[in-house]
Amino acid sequence: MFMALEPRRLYRQVADQIRALIDAGELPSGERLPAERELAERFGVSRPTVREALIVLEVEGRVQIRMGSGVYISGSRPTGSQAPSDEDSDGPFEILQARCIIESAIAEEAARCATPAGIAKLDDMLGQMEQSLHVPSKLLASDRGFHTAITDIIGNGALNRFTGFIYDSRMSPYFEKLASHFESAGSWGHALSEHRVIRDAIAAKDPAAAREAMRWHLTESQKRFSESFGEEPTRED
């Protein structure tokens, strides 16, 4: 029924196989899918890959994710369902991993050339973020502003544009749907605390601490999106 997959946009391939099983009637409407861990073992992929595939199918209307219960088949192709717009688009976890690698190095360099004006801009973004914990659209804007403000300290326009570009990659329907399940005022509060640690390391002109603080923040961000959908206790892979 399921087959292992070769690397290449694995989450898309997992979504394709589950979609084909739905279309063939092998996964009938209302049926509950196996837990993420079981699906990951059957496909030979990681749990984040399975989670990204399920988010694609939820955006299309093929499955319903019920937090605390599991993932259920919605039925045949819904009329006017949203199909993937870019088969080669990066998944949410790829984006977060890329940011972790790149922005850690940016924070390290920013700590070497921090200025009072640069730190003041970080403080401004932190203040805006704190005031917007219950307003998602403003939170995203201030979060983006904080990360690009770190790049501004370096004074490299190409890096600034790249940081904005990779951040904006999260504005896909798939990332937004994933965020709708896992982001909350509480999770953003944790992110705000992590931002303050980054700010303090940069202000202290401590490159190693700044790099580690950014790495820790974006690793924690990945973990916040890696909770199970509630159908089983969360365990580390």
Query: For position 109, what pLDDT does the model report?
Result: 98
DSSP H helices in the chain = 10-23, 36-43, 47-60, 92-112, 116-131, 136-154, 157-168, 173-182, 185-203, 207-224
Taking only the tens place, the pLDDT of each residue in 85-142 is 555 567 788 889 999 999 999 999 999 999 999 999 999 999 999 999 888 889 999 9
Angstrom distance (rounded) from CA 201 to CA 77: 51
Between the CA of residue 122 and those of 49, 148, 168, 207, what are the distances in Å?
34, 9, 19, 16
Q: Is the pLDDT of residue 199 over 90?
A: yes
Q: Is the pLDDT of residue 236 over 60?
A: no
Angstrom distance (rounded) from CA 222 to CA 13: 22
Angstrom distance (rounded) from CA 41 to CA 162: 36
- For residues 200-209, average pLDDT: 98
Query: Domains in the chain, please, with CATH?
Result: 10-72 (1.10.10.10), 92-224 (1.20.120.530)
CB atoms within 10 A of CB 113: 13
Query: For position 6, what pLDDT does the model report?
Result: 47
Angstrom distance (rounded) from CA 177 to CA 172: 9
**What are the beta bridge partners of residue 71?**
65
CB 151 within 8 A of CB 110: yes
Please state, rounded to an integer, the average pLDDT across all residues of the chain: 86
Q: Which two tokens stand for residue 211?
A: 């790099």
Q: Quick one: what percent of the chain has pLDDT higher than 90?
A: 51
Q: Is the pLDDT of residue 237 over 50?
A: no
Radius of gyration of the chain (CA): 20
The alpha carbon of residue 210 and the mean position of all alpha carbons in its chain are separated, in whole angstroms, by: 21
Selected residue with higher pLDDT from 4 and 188 = 188
Angstrom distance (rounded) from CA 192 to CA 187: 9
With tokens 């192709």, the residue in question is 77
Q: Which two tokens stand for residue 57?
A: 């199918």
Taking only the tens place, the pLDDT of each residue in 46-68 is 888 898 899 999 999 999 988 87
Q: Which two tokens stand for residue 11?
A: 């989450």
